[in-house]
Amino acid sequence: MVRALLAGQEKYLILDTGGAKSILDPEIARELGLQMGQFTSVERTPFSRGYTVQPSEVYTDVTGRQSSSFAIVDAFELGDRHFGPIEFVLSPTDNDLDNSSMPVGTLGADFLIAYDVVFDFGTDEFQLYSPNNCDNSRQPGASADADSVTVPFSVNGSNHIRFPISLDGQNLTAVLDTGAHNTILSLPAAQRLFSVDLNAPDVIRTGELARQDMAGVYRRRFFVLRIESLSVTDPMIFLLPDLMAANAAPPWRVSIMDRTRDESAALPEFILGMSVLSHYRLEIAYQRREFYLIPVPGN
């Protein structure tokens, strides 16, 4: 979570590499008096960052909830840097914001992809660098050592960082998601690849998505997760139903989690979340298509 100034007001945002778009709570947009609109026009410049919006786009979150609204923050400050205007998708529902230190939204991959990004979970610091920075000591990977892991990745239409992993010997494509507290395997993939039985004693139901009784969330411990030369033993993996695909079947709908055109939106089959990432210094070089996992001392 990072502190930022939105239209001169101090707010907190979650840094979310797994979100295609930056998200803002509609209550905050109204409080700040932001310019708001609907994703219904073919062109939205200068706010669209070069992206042409098609009519009737709908953004879908992991609970299957949808939004077609956005807000513009003309004055946005992060640390000592000034940005703007910044476009945020409005969250499908208002959140219950009971104190000023709660996050009011996310800063997504649409913003982060323009930079080299460093998440230092050992010192609780977040850094942004220009990819054209000439200081080699600040280049992603400069602090890597023999215990570090270099992971090549690709970027899809959602600006998702996608890379291969292995879970208990099964190969999957993962998405790097600093906005996810847990590491997640989609329930369809769990049942297809591992024949997961939801009634088995090693599968624990932990709740529901969007308060839907039929949309249970489960967890199960696996044997080993491998990312390049890194092995994570006995990882606890959460199993999520794919409500995104169910609610985004029409081909013109686009998902926050998967913004690839002409594809039905779907939950990624594997999401590498903070339950693993928080043990490392994460350095992302978007232009070079590599990220680095550097162990945090004593963690």
Kindly state whether residue 55 falls inside one of the protein's structural domains.
yes
- Kindly report, residue by residue over 94-117, the tens digit of the pLDDT: 555 555 668 999 999 999 999 999
Selected residue with higher pLDDT from 61 and 138: 61
> Which pLDDT does position 158 carry in this prediction?
83
Helix (H, G, I), strand (E, B) or coil at 193: helix
> Which pLDDT does position 259 carry in this prediction?
39
How far apart CA 127 and CA 114 sit, in angstroms, is 13
Are 165 and 293 part of one and the same domain?
A: yes
> Which pLDDT does position 274 carry in this prediction?
97
With a pLDDT cut of 90, the percent of the chain lying above it is: 60
Q: In the structure encoding, which two tokens stand for residue 217, read together? A: 């969330």
Kindly state whether residue 158 falls inside one of the protein's structural domains.
yes
Are 77 and 156 part of one and the same domain?
A: no
- Kindly report, residue by residue over 239-252, the tens digit of the pLDDT: 999 887 655 544 43
Are 102 and 4 part of one and the same domain?
A: yes
Least confident range from 122-126, 135-139, 224-228: namely: 135-139
Domain that holds residue 109: 1-113
- Kindly report, residue by residue over 152-197, the tens digit of the pLDDT: 999 998 889 999 999 999 999 999 999 999 999 999 999 999 999 9
Are 103 and 158 part of one and the same domain?
A: no
Are 12 and 154 part of one and the same domain?
A: no
Q: In the structure encoding, which two tokens stand for residue 238, read together? A: 């959460």
Average pLDDT score, the chain: 84
Residue 298 has pLDDT above 80, yes or no: no
Kindly state whether residue 123 falls inside one of the protein's structural domains.
no
What average pLDDT does this structure show over 22-51?
73
Are 101 and 146 part of one and the same domain?
A: no
Are 165 and 204 part of one and the same domain?
A: yes
Report the domain count for the chain: 2
Are 275 and 179 part of one and the same domain?
A: yes
Cβ-proximal residues to 178 (8 Å cutoff; 6+ apart), any chain: 14, 15, 16, 17, 18, 119, 273, 274, 277, 282
Kindly state whether residue 269 falls inside one of the protein's structural domains.
yes
What average pLDDT does this structure show over 46-64?
55
Q: Which residues pair with 227 in a beta bridge?
A: 230
What average pLDDT does this structure show over 16-24?
93
Q: What is the CATH number of the domain that holds 84?
A: 2.40.70.10
Kindly state whether residue 86 falls inside one of the protein's structural domains.
yes
